[in-house]
Amino acid sequence: MISTVKDQLYAMDLFGDDLLEQTQHNITRFVAPELASRISYLKGNTADYSSSYLQALFKNKLRVLHIDAGHEYHEVLHTLTLAAPFMQDYGVIIMDDYQDREFPGVPAATLDYCYETAQGRWVPFLAGANKMYLANPVYAKLFQLFLCKEAYFKDSFRLSRIKDSLVLITQSKLPMKSAVIEQLIQNQLHAVATASALEILTAKARSQSQTALEAEQAHLLK
């Protein structure tokens, strides 16, 4: 999760009882000191965080965000609305407990955020192992194409449609041929025929996404 170059990891949790001390102890045991020094532990409830607080905290945009905070609908929607504007264009948001029947607010708020609050600037692209993964619409398809080419996943995915998005379902009981999935995803990329055309399309999506996210962030900070 942390690169060897410059990444910073922020661990935000209630850290009840002595969980913070246990976590720090385990990190000391199993993580190299140089990497461990780049982990910031923040004890608190994300429901109490504000955009201005995160603006001061994050020195760079985030490339990975794993959300396992409050599981009620309004809590999930709040966390996504608050944190997503701080993501890189190529960033990935991971929603935990997505398939847990105890927490129907997680999938409901996740999809409402994607298609209503964010108006499609974030879309689901992968679901499995009780998690759902979100990304920029173009990067979502690029990630999917990459996953389909991995030997470990070959012919094990199924495609599910959510509104205008195609979502990969991992370890499906009704798997599809990876080659078929790749073709369908390519079709959603407007049948881009050349690498240069794909780069242009990706750059265009990146620019539009970044502009929209920065505008949203500026609005939240007012």
Q: How many domains does the chain have?
A: 2
Query: Domain check: are 138 and 193 in the same one?
Result: yes
What range does the domain containing 105 cover? 50-221
Q: What is the pLDDT of residues 8-36, one digit of tens each?
A: 999 999 998 889 999 999 999 999 998 89
Cβ-count burial 124-147 (b if 16+ within 10 Å, e if not): bbbbbeebbbbbbbbbbbbbbbeb
Percent over 70 (pLDDT), the chain? 83
Instruction: Kindly report the pTM of this predicted structure.
Output: 0.82
Q: What is the pLDDT of residues 51-110, one digit of tens each?
A: 999 999 998 999 999 999 999 999 999 999 999 999 998 999 999 999 999 999 999 999
Query: Domain check: are 40 and 70 in the same one?
Result: no
Q: What integer pLDDT is reported at residue 163 of this predicted model?
A: 86
- What would the mean pLDDT of 171-186 be, rounded to a whole number? 91
Query: Domain check: are 95 and 172 in the same one?
Result: yes
Query: Domain check: are 153 and 92 in the same one?
Result: yes
Query: Domain check: are 124 and 194 in the same one?
Result: yes
User: What is the rounded average pLDDT for all residues in the chain?
Assistant: 86
